[in-house]
Amino acid sequence: MRTLIILGLLALAGCYDGKPSHPLDCAMGLTLWPGYCPQPGTAGYEREQAMMPHSVMWNAPAGHTAADFAKDKYACMQEARSNISGGSVNGGVRLSTGLVIPGNGSSFSREVVNQPLFAACMEARGYQQQ
């Protein structure tokens, strides 16, 4: 019920277009509930993943120690790093009175671990996801 009220208010404000996510929200890193930004590569998706990361268990190949796992995990994380950045700008408006209302803008940049690439690296080293 609460979700329907929120969606109704967002629709009235022009922020909800009937889809389960809004591309502008997700691009700017805004997320309203888990799963709101399902598209990987958007700031909203990355924020959701940081807030509620998925727990993955790895089975090590025979003979590997905890130290071997830590070294392989670190190496795969280094190989799977990705940079994500974006921005948004609103231009200024000149009114008929000559008054100028200035524009504004925002940007973001962060480094994340590409999970599919990380998993492929670990599997190439003999580990299996559980």
- pLDDT of residue 122 exceeding 70: yes
Task: Tell me how many degrees the CA angle 6-32-56 measures, rounded to the nearest 5.
Answer: 140
pLDDT score for 6: 66
Q: How many residues does the chain have?
A: 130
pLDDT score for 115: 85
- pLDDT of residue 12 exceeding 70: no
Per the CB < 8 A criterion, the answer to whether 56 and 38 are in contact is no
pLDDT digits (tens, 9 = 90+) for 58-106: 999 999 999 999 999 999 999 999 888 888 888 888 888 888 888 888 8
- pLDDT of residue 126 exceeding 60: yes
Please tell me the least confidently modeled range out of 1-5, 9-13, 67-71, 87-91.
9-13
Task: Give the span between the Cα atoms of 100 and 5, in whole angstroms.
Answer: 37
pLDDT digits (tens, 9 = 90+) for 16-71: 455 555 677 777 777 777 777 777 777 777 777 777 766 788 999 999 999 999 99
Q: Is the pTM higher than 0.85?
A: no
The b/e string for 28-59 (b: 16+ C-beta within 10 A; e otherwise) is bbebbeeebbeeeebbbbbbbeeeeeeeeebe
Give the tokens for residue 91. Answer: 């231009």
- The radius of gyration of the chain from alpha carbons, rounded to an integer in Å, stands at 21
